[in-house]
Structure 1
């Protein structure tokens, strides 16, 4: 498909947000822009994240690979804690050599790809993933206004850190009008925290509306697919957990061929987002990608199951796997000897978490609210999400659901075998296989190979040279799985292009700059070679 005929794609994600929108039936939410958008497109009611926390979830989104299958499952890899020096952090995860950010496939097809601004992939974002990355990134920055774009805006106001009282001293919502879910205590501080959450979502909604207005003002709305989604849910016993409160997320899309006002109840996983964008863009989905397209010509039949995982968070290890169908949730706790509430310092800053701890000490929690303190943990948990949407009644020992329990157990086992779960590998051992002698591997430097009558692609030209045209220049990197970025510009911060085929150099003088990167490796040193191509 010629690049100019491909549709534009715009993602607007809300950080740490469950389906707390008016269009999802939330009576408290004030989300007029999202609600209007949903009326113009399609709203999925059963979209679930692969993880209840940012980095593993975002790793799966950007690669189309489950975090447990590529070593990005521990939260997180890039931070160290001075109080717990035994952890093998910081490090950048090193997925298999064939794993790429799916945006590279879009760039290779002619898309201008831009991300504003969060990444959090468990590895440094490779230079080749984005044309523009940062808090000023925008589709409006593309040099050719006719170039199709894939633009991402991650709205951060709703992140967990916004729940600290000082981040939102004057919520826009009345705490008395908000009823906490049954697994959270009902106290003034909890209600105030929920008022802050709804305030942040309302703020995101206004930013969302502004971006849609910009798209309309640019005359691009009719030729652009727009998606709204979140990486995972918020709140204690939501974020970081595979309960629906942690993995059930909104997903709404509007596009040239999507029916207005449609509501879809198919199961969708956030790992499916990347391959779906490739499908809509007319780009072949690589065979290794584990997500599956739900729109476009490469769309596959609806899922029967979605899957989620939980591993180390901050300084505390865990291993939990979960599978969900349209009704039931099966959770397996591989470490029932560990408490539900291990030490996670960042989580403990949450005002609701502080209330939970306070009431635990005072004996003020009811049975549902005390579930996080149950010890030992059950090896298996099983919930009927229709009759028990907050997942507080574990049915794993109920003979009435034995057949469904066994079916879900088998589904989880099959998935673990299929994707190759790395959770049983000690993290320190995993990192040692990536970092021989404790050092991060480095991508090999780019080699320039001229191809012309006098130099038929046999000898490299590390510093360039003078050749008779016409001439092709091949760029090569010896690191398996590396991608190459290049520029024919002299400024300090040029627009780095993704190398996909030999460069044609007509008569003239060229400064060729190139850098290579494999995900998880250090970027190669930049090479610079000057070529003079003479008229034939």
Structure 2
């Protein structure tokens, strides 16, 4: 196992007021870290004040945690959001902004895998290099494949309990899909949540169909809560709870129309709770602005692993924590087969949205989304011309070029203030900030997808990573390199068809007669052929 590095500080320090200290005690073993993530879920939890939610495990977890009230994703849909989370990079900066790169539409470019800049890595590689055992169970959806160098385990059986050394620190991810939008569609059993008790947002028609969808969503949240409880109990059973930092978060907001895929708070605002025994004051709350692309840098900071300078996300806990953000940013691009180009910036109060394609209707043709019964209700109202009030706003055939909302006074983002002269200064400030971020982040949203793919995969063919080169010295030292810029290297000394591949980070010493097997992978490229060096 590689040597662990702790205590390195890059840049200024910021200690959250809810934290007793910003860093682990160097006398203690390195903290284990667990992520529990869910899909398609806004903060519909008892801990966030939702009295209809049946979430006893998450509510109990909140009492032990720091609860973030202003956490936002960089996209309202899973694959672009997850690309940002796993790399700590804004998805349009790495060519991972279209939903999604793997598709079956013959008239679209690809299918393809995004090719990030060569220095961009999935952050678990940095944890592996520092000695952590990393597991993912099981969703990835990173837009550039799942390089074998990212995880020690990536399967439905992946678990910290599988690590060969029980003393090795771990980073374990559990992705639960029960709250995904597709789990709202079924009508094969009655709902337990009373449809009459749900609160219908003003942008939906108040019909039995809509109420049933919302009730089913609450039932699915209750199922999610029970799954979260299993993971938390396993930590207790294994005696690991006191030295494990646990995150709970979701990949974007509710999987419902005008929420999922969109840049309103219903699609971007997510629950985020973190339990860090001895470091975070239990039962506390913060209104600090957090982007979910900050999660990776924060994990590195907590683990004492240096945060790479290229990351656009920033740590909000640990020794490398940055000052609080003033703004968070989000993007919407192609959704399935429908092209779009929307950007948003938000501060603690105001949301600014820029529609770069204002001649389009708000609702584009997305067949997968149309399977939601609530969406069918909206389409029925649109076709009949019966939509009125806030329901009609999202059904218009042209968009406002700019949208500005005061989220304190207008939580549902119904009243567009972009044309109100009283908010001219706010509008100008948000315009300037969005322009600044688009330029500073290297946003590639203005590049046609076909042109971008041609740059990544010349001639439409996936590039292949060059085979690694294995050099052996007389003293048994083995050095592995790869001619492909930015390639990560995996190696093993095990035999068989399914060995455990380790991440190569430094020369290793092997016994005489040992066979070293190596593979290389540049993200978005095809993996190299396997190279074997006989001892």
TM normalised by structure 1 equals 0.94
Aligned pair 1:521/2:525, yes or no?
A: yes
Q: What is the alpha-carbon root mean square deviation over aligned residues?
A: 1.1
Q: Structure 2 CA distance, aligned partners of 1:194 and 1:201? A: 11
1:361 Cα deviation after fit: 2.4
Greater shift, 434-443 or 481-490, is seen at 434-443
Give 1 or 2 for the bigger CA radius of gyration: 1
Instruction: Identify the match of residue 18 of structure 1 among 19, 23, 42.
Output: 42
1:375 Cα deviation after fit: 3.2
1:457 corresponds in structure 2 to none
- CA-to-aligned-CA distance 1:462-506 (integer Å, 9 cap, x gap): xxxxxxxx2211111100000000000002101100001111123
> 2:110, 2:460 within 8 Å by CA — same for their partners in 1?
no
2:208 corresponds in structure 1 to 188
Aligned pair 1:221/2:241, yes or no?
A: yes
Q: Structure 2 CA distance, aligned partners of 1:79 and 1:317? A: 14
1:373 corresponds in structure 2 to 395
* Superposition map of 1:61-210 within 5 A: 61-81=85-105, 85-166=106-187, 169-210=189-230
Instruction: Identify the match of residue 240 of structure 1 among 241, 252, 261.
Output: 261
2:439 corresponds in structure 1 to 417
1:89 Cα deviation after fit: 2.6
Instruction: Identify the match of residue 70 of structure 2 among 46, 49, 55.
Output: 46
1:295 Cα deviation after fit: 0.2
Instruction: Identify the match of residue 361 of structure 1 among 380, 383, 393.
Output: 383
* Superposition map of 1:286-305 within 5 A: 286-305=308-327
Greater shift, 361-370 or 339-348, is seen at 361-370
Q: How many residues align?
A: 509
Aligned pair 1:389/2:411, yes or no?
A: yes
Q: Structure 1 CA distance, aligned partners of 2:4 and 2:463? A: 38
1:463 corresponds in structure 2 to none
1:230 corresponds in structure 2 to 250
2:29 corresponds in structure 1 to 5
Q: After TM superposition, what 4+ stretches of structure 1 lie above 3 angstroms from structure 2? A: 1-4
Instruction: Tell me the SS of whatever aligns to 2:533.
Output: strand
Instruction: Identify the match of residue 344 of structure 2 among 311, 322, 325.
Output: 322
User: Structure 2 stretches of 5 or more lacking a match?
Assistant: 6-27
Instruction: Tell me the SS of whatever aligns to 2:299.
Output: helix
2:19 corresponds in structure 1 to none
* Superposition map of 1:262-273 within 5 A: 262-273=284-295
Q: Structure 1 CA distance, aligned partners of 2:172 and 2:386? A: 48
- CA-to-aligned-CA distance 1:190-247 (integer Å, 9 cap, x gap): 1111111011111010000110000000000000000000010121000000100000
1:169 Cα deviation after fit: 2.4
Q: Structure 2 CA distance, aligned partners of 1:113 and 1:417? A: 34
Instruction: Tell me the SS of whatever aligns to 2:516.
Output: strand
Aligned pair 1:407/2:411, yes or no?
A: no
1:108 Cα deviation after fit: 0.2
1:462 corresponds in structure 2 to none
Q: Structure 1 CA distance, aligned partners of 2:340 and 2:189? A: 34
- CA-to-aligned-CA distance 1:396-438 (integer Å, 9 cap, x gap): 0001111111111111011001001101100001001111122
User: Structure 1 stretches of 5 or more lacking a match?
Assistant: 453-469, 532-536
Q: Structure 2 CA distance, aligned partners of 1:2 and 1:65? A: 25
Instruction: Tell me the SS of whatever aligns to 2:438.
Output: helix
1:362 Cα deviation after fit: 2.9
1:170 Cα deviation after fit: 2.5
> 1:179, 1:186 within 8 Å by CA — same for their partners in 2?
no
Q: Structure 2 CA distance, aligned partners of 1:126 and 1:45? A: 33
1:57 corresponds in structure 2 to 81
Q: Structure 1 CA distance, aligned partners of 2:64 and 2:199? A: 30
> 1:131, 1:497 within 8 Å by CA — same for their partners in 2?
yes
2:23 corresponds in structure 1 to none
Instruction: Tell me the SS of whatever aligns to 1:373.
Output: coil
1:446 Cα deviation after fit: 1.1
For the structure 1 residues 504 and 108, does the alpha-carbon distance in structure 2 shift closer, same or farther, using more than 3 Å as the test? same
